[in-house]
Amino acid sequence: MSALSNCSTTVWASNATTIVGSPTGIAGFNSTLLNGPLGIAVGTNDSIFVMDYSASYYRMQLFYPGSQSGITIINATGGTGLNQISSFAALNIDVSGNIYILDRLNYCVTKWAPGASTGILVAGGNGQGSSLNQLDSPYDFFVEPNTSYIWIVDYNNCRVVKWMNSSTGVLVAGAGCAYRNLQHISHRAIPLVRRELDKQLTTMILAEALSEVIFVTPTCILNLINYLIGNSSDPFTVALISFFRNLTGIFYYIHFVSPFYIYFCASKRFRQQLIYVLFKVHYNRWRHQRVVDVANIDI
């Protein structure tokens, strides 16, 4: 349902009225122009507070009713100090004229008294995190007029917290980002699993290369010796060479089955899969078949 059909007497202005800044969209960083306005709040007597930004500089411009010339009441650079702003998110004005600034990347709210050159920490300020005394990318907030309690939308923690003092907040909505935390844990677990599998694979490759050297090298050495001495007529030499040929032949054929034992010893995953196939699949299938055969025996 549109607004017009909901309230048939609604009259919409066809053109806006510029009350601060340039009517033609000219940017500037002086008393009559704005460069990058980020937030606005209306104070007592319809005074307008505008947060303006330009090249790592933040300034709060105060415009009195009927005046298009602003007064700079906060002048801050980008940074992490209480007299600085890292990433402005929102602002609020209380009945006493105190200005509250929500700093998204400093994870805090600072309170600027009229005429102050630095802010006072009133919420957050304990780094990025999910504890109740921390914030993580807060996006908006509200200051209660009578109590000055601060309600903060804590975006990355998927919650709303209420700060009644500067030490810690109280959870009032949301229970944390369960899906996002689970996804984060799974994303952290996947590299650990891959790292473990890579270690097992590296161990298997090195062990198999070592087994090739151990089992194949004696055969190569014996063939080289046999080539160098030629056909010997000495019975003892012939018997000795025959003995070592049989022995190295055993080693040579063992190396064909060595990968199985290497994989079994080096890889936990291979052992689990082998046990599963032998016992969970084939043994249970064989046992089930025996039960069926016994049941079919005529008594």
- Residue position matching structure tokens 């209480």: 82
pLDDT in tens, 54-76: 888 898 989 998 888 888 898 88
Mean pLDDT of the chain: 80
pLDDT at 226 > cutoff 50: yes
Q: Which of 38, 39, 35, 81 is nearest to 55 (CA)?
A: 35
- Structure confidence at residue 264 (pLDDT): 77
> What does the pLDDT look like over 35-52, one tens digit per residue?
888 989 888 788 889 998
- Torsion sign, CA atoms 115, 119, 120, 122: positive
Predicted structure pTM score = 0.56
| Domains parsed from the chain with CATH numbers | 37-176 (2.120.10.30), 179-292 (no CATH)
CB contact at 8 A, 160 and 141: no
- Separation CA 122–CA 167 (nearest Å): 8
Q: Which of 17-21, 228-232, 239-243, 289-293 shows the lowest mean pLDDT across its residues?
A: 289-293
What is residue 290's predicted lDDT score, i.e. its pLDDT?
A: 59
* pLDDT on residue 102: 92
Query: In sequence order, which residues have a C-beta less than 8 Å from that of residue 8 and are 6 or more positions away?
Result: none
Higher local confidence (pLDDT), 267 or 96? 96
Crossing angle, helix 178-229 and helix 268-275, to 10 degrees? Answer: 100
Return the residue matching tokens 């304990």.
Answer: 126
Q: In the predicted model, is pLDDT for residue 188 greater than 60?
A: no
Token digits for 218?
């004696």
Read off the pLDDT band of 1 (50, 70, 90).
very low
- pLDDT tens figures, 122-159: 988 888 888 888 888 898 999 988 888 899 998 888 88
Q: Could you write out the three-class secondary structure of 248-283?
A: HHHHHHHCCCHHHHHHHHHCHHHHHHHHHHHHHHHH
Task: Supply the pLDDT for residue 191.
Answer: 63
Percent with pLDDT over 70 in the chain: 86
Most confident of 3-12, 129-138, 231-240, 259-268: 129-138
